[in-house]
Structure 1
């Protein structure tokens, strides 16, 4: 009489161990902002939505204001208002620091637009007009 020994459990454990080690190795190699942008871009494309919805409030800002700074400040103020009852919501727009011009002609802070271009790679779009941002150059006032 022979008893068959099943190695299903051990095989499953070995596969799971190898998978978790691979994930732990690969995780530091993934840029979270770029991965998020890739997921959002492909989801929007699969659903047939436009690349970006231009924020009407941000679009109405003066040309010298960095929209990325304004949106970040607005979101921070909104979070503070929701956490603290009785706080009045106000996000004051300010001029772009070290202004750079995109290929579509809109002005942003260098740090804001460069970090956005690095995070979104080839899919960075202007928040004022929705055009693809390909390159930037320093804004010089005469």
Structure 2
């Protein structure tokens, strides 16, 4: 998978995390229904009708516990996930749970993670504007 120049520039200063992102995107393209990406200043957003996952460097753990070679995935589901893998979660509004997960190794890009992302993708596709 070739990254576009905007994606590559997003990792300026975080070059050690770029291979992890590339592995994530390769698996995302294989595992998820069609989606688009938008590179912003603080995150890369994956969306279909609506955003369903973001890649960032959000520090949801104490800085001392976050390796340089890591990315944070943020996804929205309609229920809270009960997993020790989730670093932080909050109910943004009734029925919409934001989950943050720090990925430090390509081995963490597993079927459980992609099941959650697929669920988030489906929820975004069903979501009506304003809900």
The bucket for the TM-score relative to the shorter chain is under 0.3
Point out the structure with the larger helix share.
1
* The structure with more radius of gyration: 1
Point out the structure with the larger strand share.
2
Compute the TM-score of the two structures, normalised by the length of structure 2. Answer: 0.23
